[in-house]
């Protein structure tokens, strides 16, 4: 087993401003660990996490890929999260993390067009009033608007642009986001292959990992 990244450098004050890893984070970590051999065989050179928060997921991915074997980009709209991601990488001896404060991938295209080998997103998926979407603070980590899908749906059109020919996208969803519908959108509208590869109950939520890639 790959150890969960050490977050002891982050304090309760940090988590007043940055999403603290929870069941959804650990499900995404488990999905990456489950695909460890698949990812290593792929030999990714560019990895991207959208909404990196504490940096836990990217640091774990770097441990799987090999921190010196790829460049790890992260984005977050929350400046506190960008700093936390950098600190988590350094604290866990991962020094190849490039953080960008931006909404989704606005500042990365066309630079990373068809270049991302591994893409991860634990999105703001909670069902909230639409006006709560778009915060620059910690609320941006969970406020998903109508059906919890507003931010998710805004990203989907960029996936074919971002992924390399062999690229794989790991997306966390909950039941209210209608994961089967998201998978069908990726198939029907964007010609991608999409399947649920892991799911788990967390309290009243049912959480899923959708793996999306080009048809093989």
- Residue 149: what are its φ and ψ, rounded to 5°? -115, -5
CA atoms within 13 A on the CB side of 99: 25
Tokens 């994961």 belong to residue: 179
Write phi, then psi, for 27 (nearest 5 degrees). Answer: -65, -40
- Domain membership of residue 130 (yes or no) is yes
Question: Is it the case that residue 216 has pLDDT exceeding 90?
Answer: no
pLDDT at 1: 81
52 burial type by CB count under 10 A (0-12 exposed, 13-18 middle, 19+ buried): buried
Is 7 within the bounds of a domain? no
The residue-averaged pLDDT of 156-165 equals 98
Structural domain total, the chain: 1
* 5 falls within a domain: no
pLDDT digits 0-9 by tens, 174-210: 999 999 999 999 999 999 999 999 999 998 899 999 9
The predicted model gives 139-148 an average pLDDT of: 96
Q: Are 60 and 67 in contact (CB under 8 A)?
A: no
Predicted pLDDT of residue 91: 98
Tokens 């805004």 identify what position?
Answer: 154
Q: Would 8 be classed as within a structural domain? A: no
162: part of which helix (H) or strand (E)? helix 159-162
Enclosing domain of residue 185: 16-213
Q: Is the peptide bond before 56 cis (omega within 30 degrees of 0)?
A: no
Distances (CA, A) of 57 to 6, 73, 119, 122: 11, 12, 11, 9
> Which burial class, exposed, middle or buried, applies to 94 when counting CB atoms under 10 A from its CB (0-12, 13-18, 19+)?
buried
75 alpha-carbon distance from chain centroid: 9
26-59 confidence digits (pLDDT tens): 999 999 999 999 999 999 999 999 999 999 999 9
In a domain, 88, yes or no: yes
179 domain-assigned:
yes
Whole-model pTM: value is: 0.97
Task: Determine, yes or no, domain membership for 10.
Answer: no
Domain CATH number, residue 63: 3.40.50.150
Average per-residue pLDDT for the chain: 97
Residue 6 within any structural domain of the chain: no
């Amino acid at each position: 087993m790959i150890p969960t990244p050490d977050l002891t450098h982050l304090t309760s004050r940090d988590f007043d401003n940055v999403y603290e890893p929870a069941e959804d984070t650990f499900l995404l970590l488990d999905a990456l660990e489950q695909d460890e051999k698949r990812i290593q065989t792929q030999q990714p050179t560019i990895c991207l996490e959208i909404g990196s928060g504490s940096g836990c997921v990217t640091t774990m991915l770097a441990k799987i890929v090999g921190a010196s074997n790829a460049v790890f980009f992260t984005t977050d709209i929350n400046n506190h999260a960008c700093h936390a991601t950098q600190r988590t990488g350094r604290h866990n001896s991962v020094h190849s993390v490039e953080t960008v404060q931006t909404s989704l991938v606005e500042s990365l295209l066309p630079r990373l067009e068809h270049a991302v080998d591994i893409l991860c997103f634990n999105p703001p998926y909670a069902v909230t009033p639409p006006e709560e979407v778009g915060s620059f603070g910690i609320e941006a980590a969970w406020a998903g608007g109508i059906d919890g899908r507003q931010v998710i749906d805004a990203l989907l059109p960029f996936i074919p642009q971002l992924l390399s020919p062999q690229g794989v996208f790991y997306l966390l969803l909950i039941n209210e986001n209608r994961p089967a519908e998201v998978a069908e959108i990726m198939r029907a509208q964007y010609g991608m292959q999409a399947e649920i590869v892991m799911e788990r109950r967390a309290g009243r939520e049912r959480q899923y990992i959708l793996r999306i890639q080009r048809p093989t």
